[in-house]
Structure 1
Amino acid sequence: MGIDLTKTQLFCGIAPAELDALLQCLDVRKRQYKRGEHLLWDGSPTEQIGVILSGRAIIQIGDVWSNNSVLGSVGPGETFAEAFACVPGEPVLANVTAEEDATALLLNVGRVIAVCSRGCGYHIRLVQNLLALYARKNLQLSRRILHTGSKTIRGRVLSYFSECVKRMGSYSFDIPYSRQQLADYLGVERSALSNELSKMQKDGIIRYEKIILRSWPPVRCARTQLISGIIEKYCRVSVPRQGRLSDPDASCCPDSKFPCGSM
């Protein structure tokens, strides 16, 4: 299937031999999607929990005026639609669209939450994993609320970049969004986001390129730490040490090849 399902959040703790029997019990189906194809449509009910096997999909909501807001993205091993599948007849509130060619495993939720008569330990573990997934998704939505809480675009960008650094354990990290999708996720206009990113690069806060990743060891200075990356796929991020970003100047990085004001 392309990935080891026993290492995914939904099937974590289930042995490979048990997994084969469990998949048969769950009546799973595997589907392939082309880039831009919808895995789920806004307004349609579903009884399927989806697990991405390959590729990536974007989850976004929109209104009748075609204004979109990105809620998140799902990649290999991650799930989607689990909350709506568990409420019979509840229409899905978001579109799930393939960002690239993708393959998904679809599980019937009735088979998932109804533990079989044998009371298999691995089926009980599956339900426990599903509850843990709900909790993680709620935390993800809470993080987005935090990111969009700032009144300034710069504050929203820095909040999101800060989370990426903490999650990845590195200042050079992958962003699963295009420029438009990042703007939708942060709740700002694309042009305004692009303008602010340009200002942040000029101020020495980030460095971004669209095609080639140029990476070098981070440079510590009195006020900031400079990191390398790409804005479309990777980002170079500077994290303020005092909780707010001061105007950088070249003198704060006397030993740096890339002084704060030179980016």
Structure 2
Amino acid sequence: MDTLFLSKTALFRGAAADELPQILACLGAVSRTYGKAQTIYRAGELVTSLGLVLTGRVQIEADDLWGNRSVLDSLGPGAVFAETYACIPGERLMVNVVAAQPAEILFLQAARILEGGGEDCAHRGLLIRNLFAISAQKNLSLSRRIFHTSSKSIRGRLLSYLSAQAARQGSREFTIPFNRQQLADYLSVERSALSHELGKMARDGLLRTEKNHFILYAKEP
């Protein structure tokens, strides 16, 4: 286990790398690997462990009864998922967690963070504070998605999302964590309509794109 990497994650921020083995043992840590497109958690399940992405990338997805898929988030190394459900006994998952690429996940028992293990876990207070901060950040991410999908037009949704990505990455040239289908799902639009609009925006001189790499222009290049 790369304890130096873990010490830099949002969940373990404030804990020294040499303290991690004891903390992980107390939290009943178990790591598992998943292939691309393999389901990690399925909607309707009861979970008791939160997941922390060690390698690869996972997606949080929601499907309705008619098979329409909506991508709620894309999470890379260091990100945490299912923490809300794991902390509320009896609360069933409303989403699927799927490996967007081969991934290794570290599972941690939420009850041991909230209540302690056989002997009181060190740094429980720190972990609880970090979990609170992670939950607050998730709320912001959900608010951003609502904001990005509030426009009635596909161009409006794209401009909102791409502008936010440029601001977040500090550059008008950036790479997003979605392919075309995933971006369409995230913005709740049809893939063909999304691709058509991106083509129009490129012709209008607003952007240049290749796969998931974008360059934005204030005017025609």
Instruction: State the TM-score, normalized to the length of structure 2.
Output: 0.94
CA distance, structure 2, for counterparts of residue 99 and residue 88 of structure 1:
28
**Aligned length, in residue pairs:** 219
Structure 1 residue identity aligned to 2:140:
L
Tell me the secondary structure at the aligned position of residue 142 of structure 2.
helix
Range with greater deviation from structure 2 (85-94 or 50-59): 85-94
Tell me, yes or no, if the aligned pair for 1:115 and 1:124 is still in contact at 8 Å. no
Cα-to-partner distance string for 1:203-251 (whole Å, 9 max, x where unaligned):
0101012xxxxxxxxxxxxxxxxxxxxxx33211235xxxxxxxx5xxx
Tell me, yes or no, if the aligned pair for 1:42 and 1:93 is still in contact at 8 Å. yes
Tell me how far 1:118 sits from its aligned partner: 4.6
CA distance, structure 2, for counterparts of residue 174 and residue 18 of structure 1:
35
More helix by share: 2
CA distance, structure 1, for counterparts of residue 87 and residue 144 of structure 2:
23
Structure 2 residue identity aligned to 1:159:
S
In the alignment, structure 1 residue 193 sits paired with structure 2 residue 194? yes
Q: Which residues of 2 match residues 122-141 of structure 1 at below 5 A?
A: 122-141=123-142
Tell me, yes or no, if the aligned pair for 1:171 and 1:236 is still in contact at 8 Å. yes
Bigger RCO (CA 8 Å, 6+ sep): 2
Match among 207, 213, 216 for residue 234 of structure 1: 213
2:62 aligns with 61
CA distance, structure 1, for counterparts of residue 171 and residue 95 of structure 2:
31
Cα-to-partner distance string for 1:145-200 (whole Å, 9 max, x where unaligned):
00011111111101101111121112222211110110111111111111100000
2:27 aligns with 26
Tell me the secondary structure at the aligned position of residue 214 of structure 2.
strand
Instruction: State the TM-score, normalized to the length of structure 1.
Output: 0.80
1:167 aligns with 168
Tell me, yes or no, if the aligned pair for 1:26 and 1:108 is still in contact at 8 Å. yes
Tell me the secondary structure at the aligned position of residue 88 of structure 2.
coil
Structure 2 residue identity aligned to 1:207:
R
Tell me the secondary structure at the aligned position of residue 207 of structure 2.
coil
Tell me the secondary structure at the aligned position of residue 103 of structure 1.
strand
In the alignment, structure 1 residue 94 sits paired with structure 2 residue 95? yes
Tell me the secondary structure at the aligned position of residue 51 of structure 2.
strand
Tell me, yes or no, if the aligned pair for 1:49 and 1:108 is still in contact at 8 Å. yes
1:226 aligns with none
Structure 1 residue identity aligned to 2:159:
L
CA distance, structure 2, for counterparts of residue 32 and residue 119 of structure 1:
26
State the Cα RMSD in Å: 1.5
Structure 1 residue identity aligned to 2:50:
I
Range with greater deviation from structure 2 (149-158 or 137-146): 149-158
Tell me, yes or no, if the aligned pair for 1:147 and 1:159 is still in contact at 8 Å. yes
Identity %: 46
Q: Which runs of 5+ in 1 are unaligned?
A: 210-231, 240-247, 249-259
Q: 1:38 to 1:119 in 2, by over 3 A?
A: closer
1:245 aligns with none
1:207 aligns with 208
Q: Which residues of 2 match residues 173-188 of structure 1 at below 5 A?
A: 173-188=174-189
Structure 2 residue identity aligned to 1:233:
N
CA distance, structure 2, for counterparts of residue 89 and residue 169 of structure 1:
42
Range with greater deviation from structure 2 (40-49 or 162-171): 162-171
Tell me the secondary structure at the aligned position of residue 50 of structure 1.
strand
Tell me, yes or no, if the aligned pair for 2:51 and 2:82 is still in contact at 8 Å. yes
Structure showing greater radius of gyration is 1
